[in-house]
């Protein structure tokens, strides 16, 4: 991570020492780096702050002088910290130096989206490295999923409205649109929006909508799996039985039941119904034993 920081500082300093537009970009990058680093208010010996500084350096490099190696650095950060955590760090670091409409973060999204899907006038063109392009696209969606999305999404009723979302709006509007889709990713809205686009002449827009939908649905499915696993754990706990005892009640092995409890495997609807029914029977039996401790205990000699 220190290498990412050092590389950014050297490139920014080198650009700032030159002339013309490159000098302005370098000087601007260094000013923003200084302000955002100060906002972190800790030394880079602190591991979480070091990660935040590395994510910030990578984001500013992509904003000011993007190169394919910056996508490689982003891939390393995602591998080490996870895509969601990197998005949260990008958001918190850039929010400290961005303004209301979030132009810096908007530009970062445009750079990564252009690399992922070949958007118009992108400063970082796709280079055929499919894994890196997919990672950049996933980072775009995750960055749209964090931060404030409380504003109303712009109305989209025709192709012109949809084109305006891509061309004229910025991060706050994009987040509002994405938040609406994440809330109900199977409501058919994305399909209607795709129907307004020409996949031949608008591949960037089509790819970006599909990426949002795919990641939103995966996230929703993971949430559902976690909810099912939590329900099963709670259901078994309420019976007072061990997992081995409960597995015998529902006709499965303890190891198989364990996969349901951890969420590794989601049971079928039939198995979930059987789990619920078995738990209710076990709870009733437990209440009956509480009322009559001798119930079900054989008499001596029998």
Tell me what pLDDT residue 23 has: 57
Same domain as 6, residue 106 = yes
Distance set, CA 135 to CA 39, 76, 165, 182, 240 (Å):
28, 11, 23, 19, 45
The DSSP symbol for 126 reads -
Query: Could you give the 3-state DSSP secondary structure of residue 31?
Result: helix
Cβ distance 1 to 50 under 8 Å? yes
Residues 204-257 have pLDDT tens digits of 999 999 999 998 899 889 999 999 999 999 999 999 999 999 999 999 999 999
Residues 140 and 152 in one domain: no
Record the tokens describing residue 155, joined without a space: 């109305």
Six-digit token pair at 150?
Answer: 């409380």
Q: Is residue 21 in a domain?
A: no
Separation of first and last alpha carbons in the chain: 73
Give the number of residues written for the chain: 302
Task: Provide the 10 A C-beta neighbour count for residue 200.
Answer: 7
Q: Render pLDDT for 274-302 as a digit per residue (tens, 0 to 9).
A: 999 999 999 998 776 666 655 554 444 44
| 70 and 182 assigned to the same domain | no
Residues 81 and 152 in one domain: no
Alpha carbon distances (Å) from 105 to 108, 132, 300:
5, 20, 78
Domain annotation covers residue 27: no
Do 218 and 244 share a domain, yes or no? Answer: no
CB 196 within 8 A of CB 162: yes
Q: Which of 172, 198, 226 corresponds to the end of one domain?
A: 226
Same-domain check for residues 77 and 203 = no
Q: Is 24 a domain residue?
A: no
**Do 106 and 188 fall into the same domain?**
no
Inside any domain, residue 25: no
- Do the Cβ atoms of 119 and 204 come closer than 8 Å? yes
Q: Which of 89, 83, 112, 77 is nearest to 36 (CA)?
A: 89
What is the Cα–Cα distance from 263 to 232, expressed in whole angstroms?
Answer: 9
**Tally of domains within the chain:** 3
The parent domain of residue 108 ranges over 1-13+33-119+130-144
Q: What is the pLDDT of residue 120?
A: 74
Burial label for 6, CB within 10 Å (0-12, 13-18, 19+), is exposed
**Are 217 and 244 found together in one domain?**
no
Contact 180, 149 (CB under 8 A): no
Residues 89, 180, single domain; the answer is: no
Question: Would residue 139 count as lying in a domain?
Answer: yes
250 & 192 share domain? no
Same domain for 159 and 104?
no
Residues of the chain below pLDDT 70: 16-24, 41-47, 288-302
Q: Quick one: 154 and 140 in the same domain?
A: no
Residue 297 lies in a domain: no
| Residue 19 domain-assigned (yes or no) | no
Q: Phi and psi (nearest 5°) for 199? A: -65, -20
Please check whether residue 152 lies inside any domain of the structure.
Answer: yes
């Amino acid at each position: 991570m220190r290498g990412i920081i050092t590389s950014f500082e050297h490139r920014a300093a080198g650009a700032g020492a030159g002339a013309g537009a490159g000098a302005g970009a370098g000087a601007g990058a260094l000013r923003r780096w200084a302000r955002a680093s100060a906002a972190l208010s800790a030394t880079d010996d602190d591991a979480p702050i070091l990660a935040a500084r590395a994510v910030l350096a990578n984001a500013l490099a992509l904003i000011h002088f993007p190169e394919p190696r910056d996508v490689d650095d982003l891939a390393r950060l995602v591998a080490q910290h996870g895509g969601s955590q990197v998005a949260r760090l990008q958001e918190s670091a850039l929010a400290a130096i961005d303004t209301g409409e979030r132009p810096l973060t908007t530009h970062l999204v445009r750079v990564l989206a252009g690399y992922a899907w070949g958007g118009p006038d992108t400063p970082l063109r796709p280079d055929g490295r499919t894994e890196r392009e997919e990672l950049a696209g996933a980072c775009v969606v995750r960055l749209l999923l964090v931060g404030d999305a409380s504003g109303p999404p712009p109305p989209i009723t025709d192709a012109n409205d949809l084109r305006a979302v891509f061309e004229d709006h910025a991060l706050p509007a994009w987040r509002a649109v994405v938040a609406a889709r994440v809330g109900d990713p199977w409501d058919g809205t994305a399909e209607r929006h795709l129907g307004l686009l020409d996949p031949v002449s608008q591949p960037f827009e089509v790819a970006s909508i599909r990426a949002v939908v795919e990641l939103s649905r995966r996230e929703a499915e993971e949430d559902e799996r976690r909810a099912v696993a939590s329900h099963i754990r709670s259901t078994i706990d309420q019976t007072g039985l061990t997992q081995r005892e409960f597995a015998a009640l529902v006709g499965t092995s303890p190891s198989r039941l364990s996969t349901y409890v951890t969420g590794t495997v989601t049971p079928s609807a039939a198995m979930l119904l059987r789990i619920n029914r078995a738990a209710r029977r076990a709870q009733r039996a437990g209440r009956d034993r509480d009322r009559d401790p001798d119930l079900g205990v054989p008499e001596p000699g029998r």
